[in-house]
Copies of this chain bind each other. A is one copy, B any other.
């Protein structure tokens, strides 16, 4: 059967040591799977989600059991680039997140209270360690590929460095080996807006009384960096909303203003302010070096022409670092007007690249297996 598992949770018992030096006593990992693991467990693809994503990468039952669409439905599904009729797709909510995996909104077992900012800072590498433990539990020794865009791409890169022996391939889209000063600065603006909101209360707000204004502003800033200048011009231009001429007051009147305000409000409904701090900090800290050994996965690195958050120049830095270690890789800059969001929106070109890359990885693996048999 090639079905979606729906939301599941794995409990990792015992002390889970983090890069920052602290430990968590037990970690819950919320995850979903799509498709069927082959008898010898060799068809698994791990998808890593980005800042505001979650485990629900493709259509399947949600928390209430009803079927709902996934955030990467254009690429993950039966017959698609990441073909759930052939591959066993695993996607986990990241450590520090707010969709079921242990994070600042979880209960600190020592105090019985919500962690808030007492939760330890987590790194991209910590997220990857949790994913590795999940694969252990699922009986997946080696992945066909680990795939992700943006912060998901950072996790994919971290996999290559941390567990090079556990994956045949790494697909890193719209990502960077380290944030530049501008991206850190935008993250800091978002964090400042959250922390300045009086309802933030040092991170100890009640779950139903979030610092909504601060989180919405953080999302507005973020959202601008996900779109391209030309894309915004085409989408909104200077069009006014529901009126012919200027109002000469401070009510939102340009379409782009109400769109952003709407994005901010909607985000607050499904995301957590403390988690926003932890995720952006994990990205700021990420500072990746390519795998040191010679047994390295193969790489597909993609960037998008209009992505100015993690522009092609930063993808080229990844490529240069990998080539200097003799890695085998494919690099493609995809032409797109969608800015950073292109990794979520560009179906055709991205799908063709990822689909063909996975086919090649699978074919090579089968060839090697045949050779070993004969």
Please tell me which one of the listed residues B20, B181, B213, B216 contacts residue A233 in the complex, with CB atoms under 8 A apart: B181
With A and B bound together, what is the CA distance between A44 and B55 in angstroms? 66
A117 adjacent to chain B (CB < 8 Å): yes
With A and B bound together, what is the CA distance between A185 and B256 in angstroms? 6
With A and B bound together, what is the CA distance between A188 and B248 in angstroms? 15
Q: How far is the CB of A285 from chain B (nearest CB, A)?
A: 6
List residues of A (293-311) whose CB comes within 8 Å of B's CBs. Answer: 308, 311
Number of A residues near B (Cβ < 8 Å) is 56
List residues of A (167-202) whose CB comes within 8 Å of B's CBs. Answer: 178-182, 184-186, 188-189, 191-193, 195-198
**Contacts A217-B193, A281-B250 known; A233 to B182 CB distance under 8 Å?**
yes
Do B184 and A254 touch across chains, with their CB atoms under 8 A apart? yes
Do A181 and B256 touch across chains, with their CB atoms under 8 A apart? yes
Do B238 and A179 touch across chains, with their CB atoms under 8 A apart? yes
**Contacts A117-B250, A186-B224 known; A217 to B196 CB distance under 8 Å?**
yes
Chain B residue at minimal CB-CB distance from A249: B121
Chain B neighbourhood of A264, CB < 8 A = 192
Do A252 and B188 touch across chains, with their CB atoms under 8 A apart? yes
Do B196 and A213 touch across chains, with their CB atoms under 8 A apart? yes
Contact with B along A75-109 (1 / 0, CB 8 A): 00000000000000000000000000000000000
Q: How far is the CB of A14 from chain B (nearest CB, A)?
A: 21
Q: Copies per complex?
A: 2
A261 adjacent to chain B (CB < 8 Å): yes
A362 adjacent to chain B (CB < 8 Å): no
Do B21 and A229 touch across chains, with their CB atoms under 8 A apart? no
Do A260 and B185 touch across chains, with their CB atoms under 8 A apart? yes
A257 adjacent to chain B (CB < 8 Å): yes
With A and B bound together, what is the CA distance between A248 and B260 in angstroms? 31
With A and B bound together, what is the CA distance between A20 and B227 in angstroms? 32
Do A250 and B277 touch across chains, with their CB atoms under 8 A apart? yes
Q: How far is the CB of A287 from chain B (nearest CB, A)?
A: 7
With A and B bound together, what is the CA distance between A75 and B192 in angstroms? 36
A214 adjacent to chain B (CB < 8 Å): yes
A246 adjacent to chain B (CB < 8 Å): yes
Contact with B along A321-362 (1 / 0, CB 8 A): 000000000000000000000000000000000000000000
A61 adjacent to chain B (CB < 8 Å): no
Q: How far is the CB of A149 from chain B (nearest CB, A)?
A: 20
Q: How far is the CB of A289 from chain B (nearest CB, A)?
A: 14
Contact with B along A261-274 (1 / 0, CB 8 A): 10010000000000
Chain B residue at minimal CB-CB distance from A188: B257
**Contacts A20-B248, A121-B249, A188-B256 known; A238 to B178 CB distance under 8 Å?**
yes
With A and B bound together, what is the CA distance between A260 and B183 in angstroms? 13
**Contacts A248-B21, A248-B121 known; A224 to B189 CB distance under 8 Å?**
yes
Most buried by B among A186, A229, A249, A277: A229
A139 adjacent to chain B (CB < 8 Å): no
Do B248 and A185 touch across chains, with their CB atoms under 8 A apart? no
Given contact pairs A180-B238, A185-B256, a sample of 4 additional A-B residue pairs in the complex whose CB atoms are under 8 Å apart: A181-B256, A185-B224, A186-B224, A195-B250
Residue pairs across A and B with Cβ atoms less than 8 A apart, 26 shown, are: A20-B246, A20-B248, A121-B249, A178-B238, A181-B232, A181-B235, A181-B236, A181-B237, A181-B238, A181-B256, A182-B229, A182-B233, A184-B254, A185-B260, A188-B220, A188-B252, A188-B254, A188-B260, A189-B221, A189-B224, A192-B213, A195-B250, A196-B213, A198-B198, A229-B311, A238-B287
